[in-house]
Structure 1
Amino acid sequence: MFKYLLGLVIVISLGIAGWLYNLYDEIKHDVDKVVNYSPKQSTQFFDNNGKLIANTFQGENRDYVKYDDIPARVIEGLVAIEDTQYFEHFGINPDAISRAIIKDIKARAFVEGASTLTQQLIKMLVLTREKKIIRKVKEALLAIRLETILTKEEILERYLNHVYFGHGYYGIKTAAKGYFNKDLYELSLKEIAILVGLPRAPSFYDPTKNLKISLARANQVITRLNTLGWINEEQYKISIKETPKIYDQTLTQNKAPYIIDYVTKLLINDIPDLKYGGYKIYLTIDLDAQEIGKKALIASYEEAVKRDEDFRKKEKSSNDEYINDLNGALVSIESNSGKILALVGGMDYKTSMFNRAVQSKRQPGSAIKPFLYQIGLNEGLNPASELADISRTYDYKVNGQKRRWQPKNYGGNFKGLLSLRESLMFSRNLSTINLVTDTGIDIVRDNLQKYGFKTIPNDLSITLGTMSVSPLEFSEYFSVFANNGTQVKPYIIEQITNNKGESIFFEPEYKEIDEPEQTYLITSILQDVINNGTARRAAVSGIELAGKTGTTNNNVDAWFAGYSPSIQTVVWFGKDDNKPMRKTETGGKIAAPAFAFFFKEYLALHPEIPRTFTKPSKVFVSTINGKTEYYTQKSPLPEIEIEIVPEDPNEEVMEF
């Protein structure tokens, strides 16, 4: 009988062994998913000072961390509460399995598990969570196999990066940033205890929802560490009493949504896994400058609203069509490199995601004039050259029908003769038209194309700035003045690093167009525009600034484009539907103050930036008509004065 039973046991044992072998042979390659672990990782965007701008992710918000960068205390806390014998066992813990089996038999149900950390990782990545014996057997077999392939450290690295910590956080580095706004090495013992206690029931122990329960769980971890002798009594008492500050923040933490949208659109075609590939994208953006830009637009907007309210009270009118839907945009770049420091696409991203800095095409109006005058200077004129600010009437035909165009100055007057400097200072339309006429439309048109403008009209409406540009495009074109004749292409991406640590870098793109001495002549005039001309509201004490206002017909668009010796900023205000603003809302009234606000605040943060423009050595100074004026070899001082009398000094004129 004994031999019969022994034989039966042997047969059953061999059968079980054979079954286990066949099962193992069938599933052994399932661990490849763990060995070749490649999880979805959040892509992070940083500003030029290394500050996090945003996370983007697809499904799982995860910031991967290498084992060597995980503090030892985190490992101790996890092992203490989840798998004390982790570094001793071979993937499964026979003692724990025995205890669990006895309890399960007594309860006639699965009441206690005995999974090691290795088994837990297998369950998360390979198997289902259903409580069946076959799944537990597979789990044990795969855990044993995994420990023959990976080291204990490699297994822990995968575990701590894959496990869910609640609140949308995957991986311990993400959870540390999310719950405590800290890096792993900054965590206190209590904070570590909260984190390592979460995987057992992440939603239940989520400290943003159930802080008392989460703290109680953390105290279990700390008590266990003390019982094992891994922390001393003093550390235990301090940690038990601590209540860390918990942050309940968005997963993306997006501080500049217009920027992240723009960068994503730039990259998504070339990097399809951009949102989940674990890239580190370093931008040229300065988050402080970005915040100043937003505040600058809001401040000018609120002043416009106040003006509109005052007007309606005065006129006893309820008509608010002029201020409804008013919006704006701002682009600020580093003049000598094109690095975008701030890019604000609208007043409120939550209200409208449309990025006006990039996507909106608007007419620049009189902001085009510096280009027209630069062309004139390059053709031999000088800031002291006299221009005729007189009325002219132009007859032309449209579809065979006779038309007449009689352009006007803003304010309805004209001055007869004035210098080129004065004409640009006060944005005189009539003298500008005469400048273009005398220079030649073809010459002006060809040169505007050289600066980058497109769809340029082949008639005198060229002087009105009727071609359409986005604020970002205009920033590129206008940089020819801010960067001493060399145009720079604004760019926003500095460096992209993939999850393997491989990086690509981006560099400035330059286009030499004008000589530095020639653009300095324009800079000197644009300084006068701010100091004594149409843009006095753009002035900021303690720094030299140059710039030009722009207002289109019927006050549809209001611009200010200007620069300091190192930074250029373009501001635009208008409505998305191209309806007019109130006539009081000109480039000088609404856009120039936003420009001044930006530079005043930026200067307070960066007092080290250059304050004065540097005159090129080939720019000379002399006196003409009792006034000091600059000249160059290409733009000599005028030798002859010609007196021109207006055609009709009493003629009534209107703004166009």
Structure 2
Amino acid sequence: MQRSSAGSRIGRFLFQSIIFCIGLGLCGLLLGTLAVALTWPNLPDLKAMTDYRPRVPLRVYTADKILLAEYGEERRNVLRFNEIPDVMKHALLAAEDDNFYNHGGVDWSGVGRAVIANVVSGAKAQGASTITMQVARNFYLSSEKSFIRKFYELMLTYKIEQNLSKDQILELYLNQIYLGHRSYGFAAASRTYYGKPLSEVSIAEAALLAGIPKAPSRFNPRANLKRAVARQHYVLDRMEKLGYITPEQHQEALAQKIVLRDNTQETPETTFARHGQYVAELARQLMYNVYKDNVYGRGLSVYTTIRSQDQEVAYHAVRDGIMSYTRRKPYPGPAAQVDLPAGIENNTERFDLALEEIRNKYRDSDDLVTAVVLSASASKVVAARTPEQIYELSGKSLGYVKRALTNSGPTSRRIQRGSVIYLQKVDNTWTIINMPTVEGAFISLNPQNGAIESMIGGFDFNRGDFNRVTQAWRQPGSTFKPFVYAAGLERGVTPGTNISDQPFHLSAAQTRSKPWSPKNYGNSYSYSQTMRQGLYKSKNMVSIRILQTVGPEFASEFISRFGFDPARQPPKSAYLTMALGAGSVTPLQMASAYSVFANGGYRVNPYIIDSVVDISTGRVIMKAQPAMAGDEANRVLDPRTAYVMNDLLRGVAKSGTAARTQATLKRGDIGGKTGTTNQSYDAWFAGFTPKLVGISWLGFDQPKSLGDKETGGGAAMPIWLSYMQTALKKVPVTPPGPIPEGLAKVGDNFYFSEFPLGKALANIGVSGAGRDPNAAKPAGSQSGDAIGKALESFNPMGGPPIRF
């Protein structure tokens, strides 16, 4: 009986326990159902995933789709599923979730294996998060570890699985996951670590990338290559076991040495990006003006009008022009003098640190590299860049700095131990040269539509992002004269008009300020010059008298047609100084203005952004609609004036101050004008063909003389020529077009219909000797008052006679 009683008690206990467990289970199920019912409606919608718009940086490209720069905190290259190579997908599945295509979001068998492994090891040895669960965390959840957050993650995982296909989920993961060094997604990581697109990765490289998500800060190859490779081997083993790769591929991948991209090493891509920094920065500024701070994360690709080959040529043309000028001037001395303790070369670690500190302070500039002098004599200089890079310089390597190797002259100019110098390789020989202090700029554009094809805003963008093409307001000197001459043509002056070249003087009473006595270059004067010869020889006296004939009101209105701001030109009280280019312009303005001559009289606005693409949709959201030459709505200059000015400026390029252009390029469609300002503060060259305009400039940012013998033809024209020798190679010569209606050519002269032969101005400022060379009768002797009366007879502006 006692045994029966005991068995009965045990039976009742078991029965009650079963009932309790069932009840507990039912309560749990009820609570779970209630929790799901309450949680599910509050789960976020999946718009962030179904309408995936990651923070993709702003990217700037050339017209031929070469990357110039990207701006944004996150590096990201979004790829569609079919654009991602299978080897990358397989490597990731092997590393993170090999059962991905079979489970419903949570891999319960994987959870079981992880629990057993963790119990056996006594620590968290395995995780059980699936790719879907990781996507849920990355998009919506924090990294907080709690039961509630885990439950929320579980619910969100199931919702994702219900609304997205497996391929969509995997695509999101491959693009969204963080992989170290500001890289989001495997496409960006491939460029960060290997310097190549994801489509080109090998099995070994894909396996290494697939190992990073486990712990991006520890398993990325830059942080710890050894640890990253160990993780890679695990991934490769899994890939073989799952049948993604063969045993032979497995062995080949294990044997492949991982070569990481050297961030300091130049590649064609990084080199060109550096050469296009001024372009990229201008494009960034223009985009920021439209989208403000939002521009850096919305995934816009900006395609500029810049052509990569032309930009490269322009970069080297400006650099070479500046370096050529620098070599013409005395060596100013080392960049600095540092204390270099005796014998420091024998302590490699200490020596390396010292040199690195110096290089960080006195940075390289492209092919100008920093070095420190270890010893110096009149015949030999030994300098170090690193403990391994030692330069022994002698012979022609020292030609430029010979005076700095003697004991004569200022101590600051001497090269001695501890001197910080710059080296440049010229004709395969290292030479000592100083970092230039002079600056330069170049811009080329298509005069038919204003598209900028190359733009260099200075010697080195990294010395400061001031863009001298768009921001430097400088005196244009004689490059401004053609606009004065063009105004003269529309007031009755002809290329054959005889104009005084005698010295010109205005008293203080006439200027209402200080006396003004301008000079010709070299103080060279003649009795008179024709308008044509005055432009060819860039005679200041001729330009002044033409402008005086035109008058201030007409001149101010006329130059504004070309895009010049009259407010930045000399005031009316001193307007005659405009004839010498005494106002202020930018190289960009000059390029736009000369385009009017090049294209036959049309105003086209320079532009640098051709289109903007939203990469998330592939849709073009902005497209340039430039003003075009040939559209009469854009005409700002009489076609007759444009035709005659082209004829005159081609003459300048053939036998005037710019004759070197045709002698070098050997083509007859070039027009151009040199420009040198007072005291040679600025050197310019403006040149063009009907298809291409180029403007080069050289000067100091804080204006000072370039030197008595420095001119636009000697300092700026070589930059222009260096560029055009390449840029015009495939551009056919454009012959002159037909003479426009209303323009007559008599001999070498041209006449407008309203100023025909015999009525056009024959002389300006010439007493007694001047005559229209094509007139049937002598024009006769004319005094200044007589010329003034003749002008008044056809002057639509009215006003008193002009006196000379």
Structure 2 residue matching 1:479: 3-state secondary structure: helix
Which residue is 2:607 aligned to? 491
Structure 2 residue matching 1:524: 3-state secondary structure: helix
Q: What amino acid does structure 1 have at the position aligned with 2:641?
A: Q
CA, structure 1 residues 314+235, in 2 after alignment: closer, same or farther (shift >3 Å)? Answer: closer
**Mapping of residues 59-138 of structure 1, within 5 Å:** 59-138=73-152
Q: CA deviation at 1:149?
A: 1.6
Q: Which residue of 2 aligns with 1:652?
A: none
Partner of 1:6: 18
Using the TM superposition, give the Cα deviation of residue 211 of structure 1 relative to its aligned residue in structure 2, in angstroms.
Answer: 4.3
CA RMSD of aligned residues (A): 3.2
| TM-aligned CA distance change 1:310 to 1:127, over 3 Å | closer
Aligned CA distance change for structure 1 residues 207 and 276 (closer, same or farther; 3 Å): same
The TM-score with structure 2 as length reference comes to 0.73
Of residues 477, 484, 489 in structure 2, which corresponds to 1:365? Answer: 477
Q: Is the partner of 1:468 in helix, strand or coil?
A: coil
1:577 pairs with 702, 711, 734, which one?
Answer: 702
Out of 7, 28, 42, the position equivalent to 1:16 is 28
Partners of 2:261 and 2:558 in 1: how far apart? 56
Question: Which of 1 and 2 has greater Rg?
Answer: 2
**Residues 49-91 of structure 1, C-alpha deviation per residue, up to 9 Å, x if partnerless?**
111111111x211122222322333222211221111000000
The residue aligned with 1:414 is 525
> 3-state DSSP class of the match of 2:727?
helix
1:170-569 correspondence runs (5 A)? 170-208=184-222, 210-243=224-257, 245-249=259-263, 254-255=273-274, 256-272=276-292, 273-309=294-330, 325-397=437-509, 403-454=514-565, 455=567, 456=569, 457-458=571-572, 459-498=575-614, 499-503=616-620, 504-510=622-628, 511-539=634-662, 540-544=664-668, 545-569=670-694
Q: Secondary structure at the match of 1:360?
A: coil
Alpha-carbon spacing, 1:537–1:213, altered in 2? closer, same or farther (3 Å): farther
Q: Aligned-pair distance for 1:245?
A: 4.5
The one-letter code sitting in structure 1 at the alignment partner of 2:625 is E
SS in 2 for 1:89: coil
| Mapped contact 2:496–2:762 kept (Cα < 8 A) | no
How many residue pairs get aligned? The number is 637
CA contact (8 A) 1:110 1:131 kept: no
Once residues 768 and 329 of structure 2 are traced to their aligned partners in structure 1, the CA distance between those partners, rounded to angstroms, is: 41
Looking at structure 2, the residues matched to 640 and 488 of structure 1 have their Cα atoms a distance apart, in angstroms, of 32
Letter in 2 for 1:259: V
Return the letter of the residue paired with 1:41.
V
CA distance in 2, matches of 1:21, 1:257: 60
Residue 633 of structure 1, CA deviation: 4.8
Task: Deviation per CA, 1:547-592: give whole Å up to 9, x if none.
Answer: 1122222222221111133111111222222233322332222111
In 1, Cα distance between the equivalents of 2:757 and 2:173? 77
Q: Provide the secondary structure at the position in 2 that maps to 1:411.
A: helix
> What letter is aligned with 1:112?
Q
Tell me which moved more, 21-30 or 348-357: 21-30
Deviations 1:76-121 (A, max 9, x none): 2211221111000000111110111123334444332111111111
Structure 2 unaligned residues grouped into runs of 5+: 1-12, 333-400, 414-433, 629-633, 770-804
Q: CA deviation at 1:48?
A: 0.8
Superposed displacement of residue 291, structure 1: 2.0
Pairing partner for 1:590 from 715, 736, 747: 715
CA contact (8 A) 2:605 2:626 kept: yes
Equivalent residue for 1:167? 181
- Counterpart AA for 1:139: E
Q: Secondary structure at the match of 1:446?
A: helix
Partner of 2:780: none
Report the Cα distance in structure 2 between the residues aligned to 1:110 and 1:213, rounded to whole angstroms.
19
- Greater relative contact order structure (CA < 8 Å, 6+ sep): 1
How far does residue 339 in structure 1 lie from its aligned partner after superposition?
0.6
Contact residue 328 and residue 572 of structure 1 kept, 8 A: yes
More deviation, 276-285/217-226: 217-226
Which shows bigger deviation, 422-431 or 245-254? 245-254
Pairwise mapping of residues 617-636 of structure 1 onto structure 2 (< 5 A)? 617-618=739-740, 624=747, 628=748, 633=753
- Report Cα offsets for 1:302-322 as digits up to 9, x if no partner: 1111111179999998799x9
Distance, in Å, in 1 between the alignment partners of 2:245 and 2:309 is 42
| Gap runs ≥5 in structure 1 | 647-656
Q: CA deviation at 1:215?
A: 4.2
Q: Deviations over 1:210-236 (max 9, x none)?
A: 445444443433332222222334443
- Could you tell me how far 1:181 is from its partner in structure 2? 3.6
Measured against aligned partners, the alpha-carbon deviations of 1:203-262 in whole angstroms (never above 9, x if no partner) come to 433334544544444343333222222233444344343335432348996432222221
Q: 2:53 matched to which residue of 1?
A: 38
1:50 aligns with 2:167: no
Deviation of 1:513 after TM superposition, in Å, equals: 1.5
Counterpart of 2:158, as a letter, is I
Q: Give the letter aligned to residue 121 of structure 1.
A: V
Shift of 1:640: 9.2
Residue 231 of structure 1 aligns to a residue whose secondary structure is coil
SS at match of 2:289: coil
Deviation at 1:423, TM superposition (A): 0.6
Instruction: Give, as a single letter, the amino acid of the residue that structure 2 aligns with 1:361.
Output: W
Amino acid at match of 1:224: R
Structure 2 SS opposite 1:430: helix
CA deviation vs aligned residue, 1:296-341 (integer Å, no higher than 9, x gap): 1111111111111179999998799x99732121111112111111
Residue identity in the other structure for 1:573:
L
Instruction: Tell me the secondary structure at the aligned position of residue 593 of structure 1.
Output: helix
Cα separation, partners in 2 of 1:20 and 1:248, compared to 1, 3 Å:
farther
Pair 1:23–1:558, CA change in 2 (3 A): farther
Q: Does the 8 A contact of 1:45 with 1:283 survive in 2?
A: yes
Equivalent position amino acid for 2:165 in 1: T
Q: What displacement does 1:634 show?
A: 6.5
Q: For 2:699, give the aligned amino acid.
A: G
CA distance in 2, matches of 1:42, 1:521: 50
Q: Could you tell me how far 1:535 is from its partner in structure 2?
A: 2.8
**Matched residue type, 1:42:** P
Do the aligned partners of residues 331 and 640 (structure 1) sit closer, same or farther apart at CA in structure 2, a change above 3 Å counting? Answer: closer
Secondary structure, aligned partner of 1:568: strand
Question: Aligned in 2, Cα 1:19/1:588: closer, same or farther, shift over 3 Å?
Answer: farther
Per-residue deviation, residues 116-159 of structure 1 (Å, max 9, x unmatched): 11111122223333454444333333212221121111111111
| More displaced 10-residue stretch of structure 1: 615-624 or 517-526 | 615-624
Is the CA contact (8 Å cut-off) linking 2:643 and 2:740 kept in structure 1? no
